């Protein structure tokens, strides 16, 4: 008897969906069967078919228009690459091609390999104009004829282009733009002025590349955790409690007169407690979710809404395993990003940029040498340094005069202390790299109630098995801990931190009864960490203010659109 599945397989005919191209670039003969994979401006710029190709269609936004006597050189972008592609449009067709407009252009693709002469190396805008042969080209209809002749003769024809470009015969304006009012100027705009137009800011070359890097990072992290057999989960955004107990939660209100959820609810400050519940069913779990803190800190490192990457591991006894995971994850992310275009473009175009406005924008970023030291540290095969909080205080005390706040055992490390430690301990002379550092075992009193007490605390006082991951210039990038998995001890910890200890979980109750329940049935030793995703991106890209690596920053007194 045949297996029911094979029966199904015989009956099953895959349905062939009509192929519809929804990409910004369309080349003739591309029927979606994978013969060519030219979908975006980034692909098109790389495409060197070795001949002229007509009927290439390009959708995108006009970044700039340069004029010569008979043609317009139009820079087109679709957000897929930092550099635009050049379109050459006869003056007669170009009247409505203005910066900011959305256009569809059709024409002949001239790649550098369709030229008999080798392409020139990097050119300045001025020299490009002067040297381009296009200004002396025949009209667009002549270009079509030339192309047909070239194809039938199987040979290259026409004057050699100096750069890959689309010679346009048809122009459609899909969304017009008035350059007089368009707020994105072809001149330097300060980060602060761009923040005031966060809905348009992604159209600038550097910001759009940062957003692509952000997207790459999310994809790589998903890949990493998938390979590590972690389950990705969606913990809630609306929660009953302030997990860290720091009183920095936003309250959720419905706008009605009655309490929507019966009693006050909050926007999550950390997914950790819910992740612990999921980890007790799924093993190892992670999430990258929005997190909210109502801190009134108006600094370059704080956002009221940020993305936190949190991971929780079950059956883990040793905190080193949690720190190893954090290091493995960051190393894998950094090496993955290095292979992708957004990170490569940021590095390359910083060096080859000829546009004065863009050069100024690059100067707003951290010095390239320091940036390389960061990346070398993140991808280093060496184990990142681990020091206890007590050792850290001992390192800080002899140089206490350097700080505004005195380093004393029992008080939290200030950002100035964290930055000093990261630079001092993390610098690896041998490789000229900044290794991130782990500071472990903080005093119990200044840490959250759920952390596991250390087995052998220092004479100064009781500590907990926790860690902060510190990097130069930024300070804390991540924090994690072993969680107290025993009910009685957890209840003691709660009392110690002045929290109410519910005796049993009541239906519909919003107290911590549910969290204590987790300790009642099958709670193994476990631990995890949370990492500020936006801070990480700002560290990787050298963007000094975390507000410039998120599309729509929200922070104290600012939530613009």
Say whether residue 235 binds ligand ASN (CB under 6 A): no
Closest approach, Cβ 442 to ligand ASN, in A, equals: 12
Closest approach, Cβ 279 to ligand ASN, in A, equals: 11
Output phi, psi for 229, to 5 deg: 65, 30
Q: Which is nearer to ligand ASN, 39 or 526 (CB)?
A: 526
Q: Which is nearer to ligand ASN, 84 or 480 (CB)?
A: 480
Of the candidates 322, 372, 401, the residue with the CA atom closest to the CA atom of residue 542: 372
Q: What would the two tokens of residue 199 be?
A: 């809905």
How far from chain centre, in Å, is Cα 185?
A: 25
Closest approach, Cβ 129 to ligand ASN, in A, equals: 54
Q: Which is nearer to ligand ASN, 99 or 530 (CB)?
A: 530
Burial of 87 (0-12, 13-18, 19+ CB in 10 A): buried
Q: Which residue has the tokens 């300045």?
A: 124
Of the candidates 532, 389, 430, the residue with the CA atom closest to the CA atom of residue 474: 532
Handedness of CA 402, 405, 408, 409 (dihedral sign): negative
Closest approach, Cβ 452 to ligand ASN, in A, equals: 12
Q: Which is nearer to ligand ASN, 194 or 267 (CB)?
A: 267
Closest approach, Cβ 241 to ligand ASN, in A, equals: 12
Of the candidates 555, 391, 539, the residue with the CA atom closest to the CA atom of residue 474: 539
Ranges within 135-154 binding ligand ASN (CB under 6 A): none
* Candidate residues 529, 534, 542, 546; the one interacting with ligand ASN per rule CB under 6 A: 529
Range in contact with ligand ASN (rule: CB under 6 A) among 277-285, 398-406, 427-435, 527-535:
527-535
Q: Which is nearer to ligand ASN, 310 or 418 (CB)?
A: 310
Calpha distance 503→100 (Å, rounded): 62
Q: Which is nearer to ligand ASN, 158 or 528 (CB)?
A: 528
Ranges within 478-497 binding ligand ASN (CB under 6 A): 479-480
Closest approach, Cβ 270 to ligand ASN, in A, equals: 3
Between CA 500 and CA 508, with CA 502 as vertex, the angle to 5 degrees is 115
Range in contact with ligand ASN (rule: CB under 6 A) among 23-31, 338-346, 390-398, 523-531:
523-531
Neighbours of 10 (CB within 10 A): 9
Burial of 552 (0-12, 13-18, 19+ CB in 10 A): middle
Site map for ligand ASN, 441-480, x if CB under 6 A? --------------------------------------xx
Helix (H, G, I), strand (E, B) or coil at 238: strand
Handedness of CA 434, 435, 441, 447 (dihedral sign): positive
Range in contact with ligand ASN (rule: CB under 6 A) among 152-160, 222-230, 317-325, 526-534:
526-534
Q: Which is nearer to ligand ASN, 216 or 310 (CB)?
A: 310
* Candidate residues 84, 530, 542, 553; the one interacting with ligand ASN per rule CB under 6 A: 530
Calpha distance 121→131 (Å, rounded): 12
Range in contact with ligand ASN (rule: CB under 6 A) among 129-137, 405-413, 516-524, 528-536:
528-536
Q: What would the two tokens of residue 555 be?
A: 């922070």
Ranges within 261-280 binding ligand ASN (CB under 6 A): 270, 272
Nearby residues of 475 by Cβ (< 8 Å), 6 or more positions away: 301, 415, 418, 419, 422
Between CA 76 and CA 83, with CA 79 as vertex, the angle to 5 degrees is 55
Q: Output DSSP code: residue 108.
A: E
Handedness of CA 547, 236, 333, 527 (dihedral sign): positive
- The alpha-helical segments, DSSP class H, found in 178-228 are 191-195, 205-227
Q: Which is nearer to ligand ASN, 272 or 284 (CB)?
A: 272
* Candidate residues 165, 244, 358, 534; the one interacting with ligand ASN per rule CB under 6 A: 244
Between CA 43 and CA 417, with CA 335 as vertex, the angle to 5 degrees is 130
Task: Name the CA dihedral angle for 343, 554, 326, 210, rounded to a multiple of 10 degrees.
Answer: 0
Closest approach, Cβ 235 to ligand ASN, in A, equals: 10
Q: Which is nearer to ligand ASN, 36 or 497 (CB)?
A: 497
Calpha distance 531→541 (Å, rounded): 16
Closest approach, Cβ 211 to ligand ASN, in A, equals: 25
Say whether residue 310 binds ligand ASN (CB under 6 A): yes
Closest approach, Cβ 372 to ligand ASN, in A, equals: 29
Determine the size of the site formed for ligand ASN (CB under 6 A): 10
Q: Which is nearer to ligand ASN, 389 or 529 (CB)?
A: 529
Q: Which is nearer to ligand ASN, 246 or 402 (CB)?
A: 246
Closest approach, Cβ 283 to ligand ASN, in A, equals: 16
Q: Output DSSP code: residue 171.
A: E
Calpha distance 205→352 (Å, rounded): 14
Tallying the residues shown for the chain, one arrives at 561
Closest approach, Cβ 528 to ligand ASN, in A, equals: 5
Closest approach, Cβ 542 to ligand ASN, in A, equals: 24
Range in contact with ligand ASN (rule: CB under 6 A) among 54-62, 163-171, 384-392, 525-533:
525-533
Calpha distance 285→230 (Å, rounded): 5
Closest approach, Cβ 177 to ligand ASN, in A, equals: 44
Q: Which is nearer to ligand ASN, 476 or 491 (CB)?
A: 476
Q: Which residue is nearest to ligand ASN (CB)?
A: 530
Closest approach, Cβ 310 to ligand ASN, in A, equals: 4
Give residues in contact with ligand ASN (CB under 6 A): 243-244, 270, 272, 310, 479-480, 528-530
């Amino acid at each position: 008897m045949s297996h029911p599945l094979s029966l199904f397989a015989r009956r099953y005919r895959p349905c062939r969906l009509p192929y519809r191209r929804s990409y910004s670039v369309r080349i003739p003969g591309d029927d979606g069967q994978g013969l060519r994979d030219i979908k975006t401006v980034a692909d098109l710029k790389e495409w060197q078919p070795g001949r002229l190709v007509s009927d290439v269609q390009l959708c995108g936004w006009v970044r700039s228009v340069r004029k010569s006597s008979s043609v317009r050189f139009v820079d087109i972008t679709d957000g897929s690459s930092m550099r635009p592609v050049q379109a050459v449009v006869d003056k007669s067709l170009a009247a409505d091609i203005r910066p900011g407009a959305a256009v569809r252009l059709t024409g002949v693709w001239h790649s550098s390999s369709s030229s008999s002469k080798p392409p020139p190396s990097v050119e300045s805008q001025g020299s490009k104009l002067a040297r381009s042969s296009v200004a002396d080209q025949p009209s667009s209809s002549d270009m079509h004829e030339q192309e047909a002749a070239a194809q039938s003769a199987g040979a290259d024809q026409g004057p050699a282009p100096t750069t890959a470009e689309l010679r346009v015969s048809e122009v459609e304006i899909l969304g017009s733009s008035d350059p007089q009012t368009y707020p994105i100027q072809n001149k330097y705009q300060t980060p602060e002025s761009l923040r005031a137009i966060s809905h348009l800011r992604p159209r600038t070359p550097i910001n759009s590349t940062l957003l692509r890097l952000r997207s790459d990072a999310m994809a790589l992290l998903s890949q990493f955790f998938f390979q590590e057999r972690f389950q990705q989960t969606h913990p809630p955004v609306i929660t009953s409690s302030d997990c860290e107990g720091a009183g920095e939660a936003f309250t959720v209100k419905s706008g009605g007169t009655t309490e929507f959820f019966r009693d006050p609810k909050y926007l999550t400050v950390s997914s950790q407690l819910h992740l612990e519940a999921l980890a007790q069913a799924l093993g190892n779990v992670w999430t990258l979710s929005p997190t909210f803190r109502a801190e009134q800190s108006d600094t370059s490192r704080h956002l009221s809404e940020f993305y936190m990457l949190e991971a929780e591991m079950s059956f883990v006894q040793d905190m080193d395993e949690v720190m190893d995971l954090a290091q493995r994850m960051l190393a894998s992310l950094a090496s993955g990003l290095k292979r992708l275009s957004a990170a490569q473009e940021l590095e390359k175009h910083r060096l080859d940029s000829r546009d004065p406005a863009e050069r100024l924008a690059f100067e707003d970023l951290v010095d390239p040498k320091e940036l390389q030291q960061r990346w070398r540290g993140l991808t280093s095969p060496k184990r990142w340094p681990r020091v206890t909080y007590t050792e850290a205080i001992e390192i800080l005390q002899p140089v206490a005069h350097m700080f505004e706040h005195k380093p004393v055992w029992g008080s939290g490390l200030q950002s100035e202390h964290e930055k000093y430690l990261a630079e001092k301990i993390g610098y690896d002379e041998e490789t000229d790299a900044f290794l991130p550092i782990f500071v472990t075992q903080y005093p119990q009193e200044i840490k959250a109630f759920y952390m596991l007490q250390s087995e052998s605390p220092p004479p100064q006082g009781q500590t907990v098995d926790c860690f902060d991951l510190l990097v130069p210039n930024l300070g804390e990038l991540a924090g994690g801990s072993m969680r107290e998995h025993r009910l009685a001890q957890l209840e003691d910890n709660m009392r110690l931190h002045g929290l109410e200890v519910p005796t049993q979980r009541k239906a519909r109750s919003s107290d911590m009864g549910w969290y204590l329940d987790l300790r009642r049935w099958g709670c193994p030793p476990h631990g995890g960490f949370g990492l500020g995703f936006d801070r990480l991106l700002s560290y990787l890209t050298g963007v000094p203010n975390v507000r410039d690596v998120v599309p729509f920053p929200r922070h104290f007194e600012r939530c613009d659109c």
